[in-house]
Amino acid sequence: MTKQSLKSIILILAAGVSACGGGGSGSGSIVVPPTSPTPPPSPPSSTSCSLTNRQNFAASVLNEWYLFPETLPSALSPAGYNSVQAYIDALTATARGQGRDRNFTYATSIQEENAFFASGATAGFGVRFAYQGSRIFVIEAFEGAPALAAGIDRGTEILAIGTDSSNLVAVADILAAQGSAGISSALGPNTAGTQRVLRISDASGARNVTVAKADYNIEPLSSRYGAKIIDNGGGQRVGYINMRTFISTADNQLRAAFADFRAQGITNFVIDFRYNGGGLVSTAEVMGDLLAGNRFSSDIFSVTRFRASKASNNETKRFAPQAQSVSPVKIAFIATGATASASELVMASFVPYLGVNAALIGSNSYGKPVGQIALDLTACDDRIRVVAFAKENAAGQGDYYSGLAGTMRTTCAAADDITRPLGDPQEASLRTALDFVAGRSCTPIAVAQSAQRTSASTEQRIMLVPENGDRTPGALLVPDKGSIAQREVSGSF
């Protein structure tokens, strides 16, 4: 396989974290859209998409490409496993137990995934949910989707869910009886037209709202707060980017935003990745290049390393400053436990160059320094995402499975304050980021926070602050078996 053909199948630096997707730990991907690569040996023909043949195809992909070949069983029959994913889970169980493959290797749909990465296409209400104790909150609402049009936005609490107003069930009761899986079930399937009545509470009080799921495209940068310039006092202006996911439609949005920053002489930045689980590798590189106005073309952005038998595919990506590139003096990266993969790649890549002037703000990131390639069994609409390479920065830092708090030289702890809109300078995480840019002191993120996770933890922990001021940790609501969008855009429904 040539280096060019491999580029066409390198898809993810993601944390797709449940048995069959659903980014329980910050999903997302580093992706270059595939161009019908040559698959590993002998995939089944279009007339033989039996479960066994599909499982054998998955096994052949892992045997050739898996980054941790020493962890694969020497022989494991697919008999007894009732799905392709169940067999993949069995094959990768050892690496998963070691925390190196937290369900990052999985089977998915070619067609559904291509549609998402091209435009963010999905179906749903158009919100992200987080739960804290017995409560569910909206932490973000997407433009052009049904929920926002119905008046549901960040900070809204969901009190009860029903198919109509006569059978509403309290969220606290659902969580007590069934856990978060019960909420996912109550919200219904991810198909356009699925309608629910939600009992909600926000600044306008409690009320019932009827909302139906619909097809929509997730904008990677919000039209409301995706890019702006913030007055930080004392004549200092700061460029702010809030990036939801790395998909191809972000590229031109980023170029336009950074062209404006450059024209206005902005040199200090806040990059808000707080729920960003990753995305296209090409888009991660675009963002890196747009932040590289003061980098040389010889400077290394990232290094990609495959297993020994595939070392000929190792690659070094160097910065390539663009016409729109800015020259950062300081960058504050806002993160939570839902921040993973391509987002972490961008953050880590600036540590060797900015040192203490590149800060991690909020809470520790998820920790995914490995990436996937994707190989397709086209006749069966099967795409196998297999962890195949590790990523590191110019200083060789890449072993951040417990998050970036131990890698970034400056960290500042802050909560995710859902009582204020994203992009509001008084929101806790953004306020702390602006304080860092201004040179004010902060409380570091406890690296011990990482040690408290189990090796195979898949939770996306966030220090959620709703209106009652509760600062106990929350987690994004993630279905066990979700859509592509729910894997890549954590907490989305």
Class of the domain covering 123-217: mainly beta
For 144, other C-beta atoms within 10 Å of its C-beta total 14
Question: What b-and-e string marks burial along 13-46, b requiring 16 or more CB atoms within 10 Å of the CB?
Answer: bbbbbbebbbbbbbbbbbbbebeebebbeebbee
Checking if the pLDDT of 441 tops 80, the result is: yes
Q: pLDDT of 313-357, one tens digit each?
A: 999 999 999 999 999 999 999 999 999 999 999 999 999 999 999
Are the C-beta atoms of 475 and 462 separated by less than 8 Å?
Answer: yes
Q: Sorting pLDDT into bands at 50, 70 and 90, what band is 17? A: very low
DSSP E strand stretches across 186-286: 195-202, 205-212, 214-217, 227-231, 237-242, 268-272
Checking if the pLDDT of 255 tops 90, the result is: yes
d(CA 11, CA 457): 23
Lowest mean pLDDT, pick from 22-31, 429-438, 442-451: 22-31
pLDDT of residue 483: 82
Checking if the pLDDT of 23 tops 50, the result is: no
User: Parallel, antiparallel, or unpaired: how do β-strands 268-272 and 330-335 relate?
Assistant: parallel
Q: Sorting pLDDT into bands at 50, 70 and 90, what band is 276? A: very high
pLDDT of residue 47: 56
Cα-trace Rg, the chain: 22
- Where are the chain's structural domains? 123-217, 227-303+311-366+391-460
Question: 184 in helix, strand or coil?
Answer: helix
Nearest alpha-carbon partner for 281 in 349, 367, 362: 349
Q: Sorting pLDDT into bands at 50, 70 and 90, what band is 445? A: very high
Q: pLDDT of 62-102, one tens digit each?
A: 999 999 999 999 999 999 999 999 999 999 999 999 999 99
Per CATH, is 227-303+311-366+391-460 categorized as 3.40.720.10? no
The alpha carbon torsion through 349, 352, 357, 358 (nearest 10 deg) reads 20
Nearest alpha-carbon partner for 413 in 385, 442, 392: 442
Nearest alpha-carbon partner for 404 in 345, 454, 492: 345
The pair of three-digit structure tokens given for residue 231, joined into one six-digit string:
């007055």
Mean pLDDT of 467-476: 82
pLDDT of residue 189: 93
Nearest alpha-carbon partner for 14 in 120, 86, 105, 115: 105
Lowest mean pLDDT, pick from 7-16, 198-207, 312-321, 349-358: 7-16
Q: Sorting pLDDT into bands at 50, 70 and 90, what band is 9? A: low
Nearest alpha-carbon partner for 298 in 317, 315, 281: 317
Q: Percent of the chain at pLDDT above 90?
A: 78
Mean pLDDT of 148-160: 98
Checking if the pLDDT of 1 tops 60, the result is: no
Nearest alpha-carbon partner for 488 in 283, 257, 299: 283
pLDDT of residue 488: 84
Are the C-beta atoms of 161 and 493 separated by less than 8 Å?
Answer: no
The alpha carbon torsion through 296, 301, 307, 312 (nearest 10 deg) reads -30
Checking if the pLDDT of 432 tops 70, the result is: yes
Mean residue pLDDT across the chain: 89
Per the model's pLDDT, the better-predicted residue between 458 and 439 turns out to be 439
Question: 129 in helix, strand or coil?
Answer: strand
d(CA 417, CA 33): 36
Nearest alpha-carbon partner for 486 in 136, 274, 245: 245
The alpha carbon torsion through 352, 353, 357, 358 (nearest 10 deg) reads -60
Checking if the pLDDT of 34 tops 90, the result is: no
pLDDT of residue 19: 25
- Residues near 379 by beta carbon (within 8 Å), at least 6 away in sequence: 43, 44, 45, 46, 49
The pair of three-digit structure tokens given for residue 412, joined into one six-digit string:
């500042």
Mean pLDDT of 107-113: 93
pLDDT of residue 41: 43
In terms of residues, how long is the chain?
493
pLDDT of residue 2: 52
Mean pLDDT of 225-235: 97
For 330, other C-beta atoms within 10 Å of its C-beta total 20
Q: pLDDT of 400-418, one tens digit each?
A: 999 999 999 999 999 999 9
Nearest alpha-carbon partner for 158 in 178, 184, 191, 177: 184
